[in-house]
Every structure is written in structure tokens, then in C-alpha cells.
């Protein structure tokens, strides 16, 4: 008869649950305004949003480590839900509101 001993400390699961909760909350409050594989364009879009004090985050930025730098996967430019309309308007002003 063998007994299974759980060696994983309780705080590990709590910490992982908290991380998952935080990540799912971030996803829920962020909206994708542009998807692009063009890194030069992505840099330009970031500067446009920075000039207008619009907070943003680039999702899938580190995917290049998995794709060997070939640029096959688009990066997503995300803004908080409250800033989505103004971000879209500013990107339309510079004629950069489209996905590649």
C-alpha cells in the first residue's frame, strides 16, 4: 500500500491562481486596436499612442523566440477598454488603423 504525498506547498497554487486571475483581468479590460507583423509599423504606432498619452501594451511581443524571428505571427497592440475609442480615432487620423 502506497500513499501519495503532496509536496507542493499551498502558497504555490494560491500564487498561480492569483497570477491567472490577474492575467484574465488584464485580458478583459484590454482591447486590440491593431494586429501587425511589421515591427517598424508597430514602433510607429507605439509612438503615436505615446504622443497622445494613450496607455498601451504589446501582446505576443516575445513570440519571436518561438518563431525564430521570421515575423509570421502578428503582434497585437492593446489599449485599455476606456481608451479604445480615442486610440482608434488617433490611429485613423494618421491613416494607420488597419490590420495586416
The pLDDT, as a whole number, for residue 11 is 46
Helices first, then strands: H and E counts in the chain? 4, 3
Q: Give 61's pLDDT tier (boundaries 50, 70, 90).
A: confident
Residue pair 42/75 in contact (Cβ under 8 Å)? The answer is yes
Per 3-state DSSP, what percentage of the chain is helix, strand, and coil (rounded to 5)?
55, 15, 30
How confident is the model over 7-50, as pLDDT tens digits?
Answer: 444 444 555 566 666 666 666 689 999 999 898 999 999 999 99
Domains in the chain and their CATH numbers? 30-93 (3.30.70.790)
Distance, CA of 87 to CA of 67 (rounded, Å): 29
Look-up of cell digits 510607429: 44
Looking at the DSSP bridge assignments, the partners of residue 32 are: 78
Amino acid at each position: 500500500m502506497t500513499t501519495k504525498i503532496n509536496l507542493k506547498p499551498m502558497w504555490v497554487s494560491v500564487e498561480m491562481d492569483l497570477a491567472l486571475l490577474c492575467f484574465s483581468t488584464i485580458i478583459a479590460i484590454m482591447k486590440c486596436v491593431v494586429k501587425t507583423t511589421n515591427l517598424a509599423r508597430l514602433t510607429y504606432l507605439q509612438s503615436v499612442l505615446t504622443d497622445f498619452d494613450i496607455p498601451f501594451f504589446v501582446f505576443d511581443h516575445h513570440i519571436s523566440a518561438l518563431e525564430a524571428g521570421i515575423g509570421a505571427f502578428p503582434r497585437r497592440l492593446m489599449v485599455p477598454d476606456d481608451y479604445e475609442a480615442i486610440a482608434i480615432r488617433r490611429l485613423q487620423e494618421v491613416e494607420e488603423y488597419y490590420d495586416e
